[in-house]
A and B are shown apart, each in its own frame.
Chain A
Amino acid sequence: MRKYSSHLLYGSFCLLILIAVQENFLNAYLQLIIMFMGVNIILSTSLNLVNGYMGEFSVGHAGFMAVGAYVTSVLNVWLFTSDRVFGPAVLPAGSVIYLFPVTLLMGGIVAALVGLLVAIPSFKTRGDYLAIITLAVNYIVKSAIENIQVIGGARGFMGMRNIVSSMHEVVNVPWVMIWIFAGTGFSVWLIHRFVTSTYGKGIVAVRDDEIAANIMGVNTRRMKMVAFMLSSGLAGIAGGLFAHILGYINPGSFTIMKSTEVMVMVYLGGMGSLSGSVLSAVGFTIILELFRPLQVIKWVAIPLLLILLMLFRPEGLLGHRELTDVFPRLRRIFVPQGKRA
């Protein structure tokens, strides 16, 4: 029972929200916020893998997100709808409900391959120089998309609304919300499994002392490669989901500004704390919405708030600890007996 308590809790929470959405208890605005929370959780946990657990300083997470968003969207529009550019639908529109996870994964895989652009230089480069490489990759991706006219260039790409509505035609349930819950659950589960495995220990060893880890027999190259690819792949999945929430994407959504937002979530939650990342992603999304009435002042108030937080609690909300370390009682519910997490 304890082993599956977190799965059960998450499952019943999702079910509750889905029922509330289906019965119209939640208005569209609240739904949107919940969906953005999901995407932000994926983004912050996946970036935490590189910036927190591995101790690198990646500042271009939005680039991978852009790759995933575009690949998934273009695949979906090409396969399931008749489009001016891509011609008639290849597959029947109804099959999208089965194949959407596949296209989403494809987006993630391509994003992971782009992640190699960072992973391979990271063998030789560390620290601030690697930060520049991630920054450059973000610019390269954005600039490349702007120059591909087939997918709209700087004007952006749309048509994902039709995908969502053809899902609704088959069975009328909140599909995007379902996929986001699935994606969020999947990525948090995956990262949790990953960091508690021997790979996770290896990555922490790379952070603490790369040379010593190497001597002790940790294959540091492999660790870096896997961490970067997993991180960017999950960012790609988040991007694919993001594109289907909005129904429209343009390269301007994936700038350094977006990367900064994700970075803030990671450091707010604490480096190397998975539950911290989840909490800060949820909290940050709520703060963003609460401050919306302030308009221009919003982007003065939020950074100010963060600076104050840094001054009084410089290690982030949870620091290097997990929620179960801060509240040991939670361990009785979530951690299987006889196991230390």
Chain B
Amino acid sequence: MNIDTLVQNLLNALQWGSFYALIALGYTLVYGVLLLINFAHGDIFMVGAYIGFFLATFLLGQYALALPFSLPPHVIFLVTLLLTMILTAFAGVTLERVAYRPLRRKGVNRLYVVITALMCGLILENGNLALLGANRRNFPQLLDNTVYSLGGVTFSDVKLLVIFATIAVFLLLETIVRKTKLGMAMRAISYDRMAVPLMGIPVDTVIVFTFALGSSMAALAGVLFATAYPVLEPYMGALVGWKAFIAAVIGGIGEIRGAFAGGFLLGFVEIFVAAFFPSTLRDLIAFSILLVFLSIKPTGIFGVARATKI
């Protein structure tokens, strides 16, 4: 493997890992606060991609009601991105409100909440299938996707956009969690669930904020994913969601740094395995590496083993 192919694969891995990282973030944020694995999160990603699709086609005037004005494509892209993030955040918060909160109030075993989350994911997938049909949809091309070539390495501006957006999100979230009051409340809830309400912190508001944040990041991933790979189908979130969850756990679930490290690591492993071996072996080798890794370091990269009191 010469240096060009190596750099090319590195870039591909960075882009692929970015998607995992952005989705893993939602898992990790919710887990950090609630100790809940929100298995519907992969499907929130799918919902985000679909909302983005409908918004983009609407703004392009491809529906019956043509808009009185026409926007340049990159403005449409930005507007779509922002609106999708807001709308998907509402979807995520609704899910929390309707399905998880009543269970949390009852104080049931958290595994039952996990099962509810799985069921919510199934409803989103199959509800989409029932409502919109099984035909795939093509995401409109909003960015002109220029391909640059530098030496033997080719990269498109979409690829760069994905990578930079992910890095920006990382910095933003680290700031929110480390520097703001809400972030401090989030950390406090994960540190001590019992004492936080006693201190006058509105737990439910913080939880809603967490879900909104995670879901909007999934929406960001959804729109970027649809821009890079413009085919949408109802089950697109299932496998990516499971893998992103794995990425979150490798990084050490509950840690924002961990979600990014895990996402990029999984991206690298998958891309490089596919580069060296037949691509049918990709899952086999990637998951075997994961198995060995978790056997050696059971808490993930950044996770800390919590001491249990007896």
Choose one: A137, A263, A271; the contact of B291 (CB below 8 Å). A137
CA distance A302 to B123 in the complex (A): 9
The verdict on B114 contacting chain A, using a C-beta distance below 8 Å, is yes
Selected interface stretch from B6-14, B189-197, B292-300: B292-300
Question: Is A140 a contact of B287 with CB atoms below 8 Å?
Answer: yes
Choose one: A139, A212, A260, A314; the contact of B112 (CB below 8 Å). A314
What 1/0 mask marks residues of chain B from 154 to 165 whose CB sits below 8 Å from any chain A CB?
000000000000
Please, which residue of chain A has its CB at the minimum distance from the CB of B111?
A57
The verdict on A26 contacting chain B, using a C-beta distance below 8 Å, is no
- A125 and B127 contact, Cβ closer than 8 Å, known pairs A139-B283, A306-B115, A307-B116: no
Task: Mark out the residues of chain B between 77 and 131 whose CB falls within 8 Å of any chain A CB in the assembled complex.
Answer: 99, 102-103, 106, 108-109, 111-112, 114-116, 118-120, 122-123, 125-127, 129-130
CA distance A160 to B102 in the complex (A): 48
Question: Is B115 a contact of A264 with CB atoms below 8 Å?
Answer: yes
Question: Is B295 a contact of A136 with CB atoms below 8 Å?
Answer: no
> Nearest Cβ in chain B — how far from A58, in angstroms?
11
What 1/0 mask marks residues of chain A from 99 to 142 whose CB sits below 8 Å from any chain B CB?
00000000000000000010011001110110111011101101
Selected interface stretch from A29-37, A143-151, A225-233: A143-151
Cβ–Cβ < 8 Å partners of A212 in chain B: 310
Cβ–Cβ < 8 Å partners of B294 in chain A: 121, 125, 129, 132-133, 136
> Nearest Cβ in chain A — how far from B292, in angstroms?
9
Please, which residue of chain B has its CB at the minimum distance from the CB of A125?
B298
Cβ–Cβ < 8 Å partners of A120 in chain B: 295
- A310 and B112 contact, Cβ closer than 8 Å, known pairs A212-B310, A297-B130, A300-B123: yes
The verdict on B280 contacting chain A, using a C-beta distance below 8 Å, is yes
Please, which residue of chain B has its CB at the minimum distance from the CB of A264?
B115
Question: Is B129 a contact of A303 with CB atoms below 8 Å?
Answer: no
Please, which residue of chain B has its CB at the minimum distance from the CB of A320?
B109
What 1/0 mask marks residues of chain A from 256 to 298 whose CB sits below 8 Å from any chain B CB?
1000100110010001000000000000000000000000111
- A129 and B249 contact, Cβ closer than 8 Å, known pairs A57-B114, A135-B242, A314-B112: yes
Cβ–Cβ < 8 Å partners of B245 in chain A: 132
Choose one: B114, B120, B238, B298; the contact of A307 (CB below 8 Å). B120
CA distance A140 to B294 in the complex (A): 15
Please, which residue of chain A has its CB at the minimum distance from the CB of B252?
A129
Question: For chain B, which range describes its interface: under 10, 10 to 19, 20 to 34, or 35 or more residues?
Answer: 35 or more
Question: Is A128 a contact of B119 with CB atoms below 8 Å?
Answer: no
The verdict on B284 contacting chain A, using a C-beta distance below 8 Å, is yes
The verdict on B253 contacting chain A, using a C-beta distance below 8 Å, is yes
> Nearest Cβ in chain B — how far from A219, in angstroms?
18
CA distance A297 to B122 in the complex (A): 11
Interface residues on chain A, number (Cβ under 8 Å): 48
Cβ–Cβ < 8 Å partners of B288 in chain A: 136, 140
Cβ–Cβ < 8 Å partners of B298 in chain A: 121, 124-126, 129
Cβ–Cβ < 8 Å partners of B70 in chain A: none
Question: Is A300 a contact of B126 with CB atoms below 8 Å?
Answer: yes
Question: Is A303 a contact of B119 with CB atoms below 8 Å?
Answer: yes
CA distance A128 to B113 in the complex (A): 14
> Nearest Cβ in chain B — how far from A259, in angstroms?
10
CA distance A263 to B116 in the complex (A): 11
Task: Mark out the residues of chain A between 300 and 339 whose CB falls within 8 Å of any chain B CB in the assembled complex.
Answer: 300, 302-304, 306-307, 310-311, 314-316
Question: Is B299 a contact of A303 with CB atoms below 8 Å?
Answer: no
The verdict on A23 contacting chain B, using a C-beta distance below 8 Å, is no
CA distance A299 to B43 in the complex (A): 15
Question: Is A303 a contact of B120 with CB atoms below 8 Å?
Answer: yes
Please provide the 8 A-B residue pairs with the shortest distance between their CB atoms, ordered closest to farther: A303-B119, A299-B126, A314-B108, A143-B284, A125-B298, A143-B283, A303-B122, A136-B287
Q: Mind listing 12 A-B residue pairs with CB under 8 Å? A: A121-B291, A121-B294, A125-B294, A132-B249, A133-B295, A297-B130, A303-B119, A307-B99, A310-B116, A310-B119, A314-B109, A315-B108
The interface of chain A, by Cβ under 8 A from chain B, is: 51, 57, 117, 120-121, 124-126, 128-129, 131-133, 135-137, 139-140, 142-144, 146-147, 209, 211-212, 215, 256, 260, 263-264, 267, 271, 296-300, 302-304, 306-307, 310-311, 314-316
